Amino acid sequence: MKLDHIAIVVRDLEQAASVYSKKLGVPLKSRHRIDAEGVEVAVMELDNAHIELVKPLDKASGVASFLEKRGEGLHHICLEVDNIEALIRYLGASGIKLIDDKPRTGYKGNKAVFVHPSSTNGVLIEFYEKDM
């Protein structure tokens, strides 16, 4: 199993992307607005994974609520799997609680599910079906 990305919630995407690229040396790869999730994302490129800086677009998203309660910081990790339906069956049999009843579709068209942090020691984990 492979790590796809680490997501960090931020208040100001310009400022955060500038810190990570110019001050830490992690290059900016791309930027996306994902209206379905109510977020804007800056993808920062590490050699073996990505850091996604995520800014809420409104107050309705889960990310906005996280930002209000906990402030900026680490939000979730995303692991890549071959087959999301097989994974959902495996997690169900393991007694792992999912946030999603069925896979959601990411901005690149890939299927993804989120695991509830209560099942995984306080960590929000996204599983993401890799490109075919």
Q: What is the CA angle 117-53-96, rounded to 5?
A: 15
Q: Which of 41, 42, 53, 63 binds its own copies (CB under 8 A)?
A: 53
Beta carbons of 63 and 8 less than 8 angstroms apart = no
Which residue number, 1 or 36, has a Cβ lying nearer to its own copies? 1
Helix (H, G, I), strand (E, B) or coil at 78: strand
| Residue indicated by tokens 């071959």 | 82
**Per CB under 8 A, 8 contacts its own copies:** yes
The footprint of its own copies (CB under 8 A) covers 1-3, 6, 8-11, 16, 19-20, 22-26, 46-49, 53, 71-74, 76-77, 79, 90-91, 94-96, 115, 117, 119-123, 125
